[in-house]
């Protein structure tokens, strides 16, 4: 979560600098970002539909383990935790 807050803070700082210099941001408009979110969510329709057609149950745990990591990406620290788990198992 800390990396997201740092990213937001740096983005705000750059936005302020752009404002002071009266320069337009090269970032895409919000409409494009919403479209990207739609693409990420839409990609999850295919495995969800396949699971539903196969007669398998679609549970919150499945959505959490399969869809959430794809839409939101791997959260910071998750990779570190999984590596430390591997080290303790060996």
Nearest Cα neighbor of 71 from 27, 28, 39 is: 39
**Residue 47 CB contacts under 8 Å (≥ 6 apart), including other chains:** 66
Position 74 scores a pLDDT of 66
Position 80 scores a pLDDT of 53
Summarised one tens digit per residue, pLDDT across range 31-70 is 887 887 888 888 888 888 888 898 888 787 777 777 776 6
Summarised one tens digit per residue, pLDDT across range 73-85 is 665 565 555 545 5
Cβ pair 4, 34 in contact under 8 A:
no
């Amino acid at each position: 979560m800390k990396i997201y807050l740092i990213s937001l803070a740096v983005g705000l700082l750059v936005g302020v600098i752009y404002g002071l210099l009266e320069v337009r941001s090269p970032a895409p408009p919000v409409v494009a970002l919403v479209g990207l979110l739609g693409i990420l969510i839409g990609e999850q329709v295919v495995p969800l539909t396949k699971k539903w057609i196969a007669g398998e149950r679609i549970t919150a745990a499945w959505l959490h383990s399969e869809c959430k990591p794809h839409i939101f990406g791997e959260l910071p620290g998750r990779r570190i935790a999984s590596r430390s788990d591997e080290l303790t198992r060996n």
